[in-house]
Amino acid sequence: MKKLCATAILMAGLGLLAACQDSPEDKMESARESMSDAADNIGEAMEDTGDAIEQRTDEAFNNEPTATERMQENLDAASDRIGEAYDDSTDYLQEKGEQARDAATDARNDLEERMNRE
């Protein structure tokens, strides 16, 4: 927050310094713009500070998961997806194995039929 306030003050000061080199009307317009920019920066800094306070409060009162808890949840979800992918691949391989066995049986029966005809 200190950095944002210092930036806002610096911008306002630079605007005022630049205004010293222009005509009186330009100086007033430049000063207005600088003050407006400074006010915007201070407003953003206050919003960021409010968001940080809210996040810390939520973490302190266990209303929101901590970074460690969120990481653990993500790891658990990834583990679940890996397990599902493993199960799916196992099912796929079993199905293909059965099809290969059936095809081999059919080929053997077909070969036996041909040999018996001859």
- Predicted TM-score (pTM) of the model is 0.37
pLDDT digits (tens, 9 = 90+) for 11-59: 666 555 555 555 666 666 776 777 777 777 787 888 888 888 888 887 7
User: What confidence score (pLDDT) does residue 61 get?
Assistant: 78
CB 58 within 8 A of CB 18: no
What percent of the chain is modeled with pLDDT above 70? 71
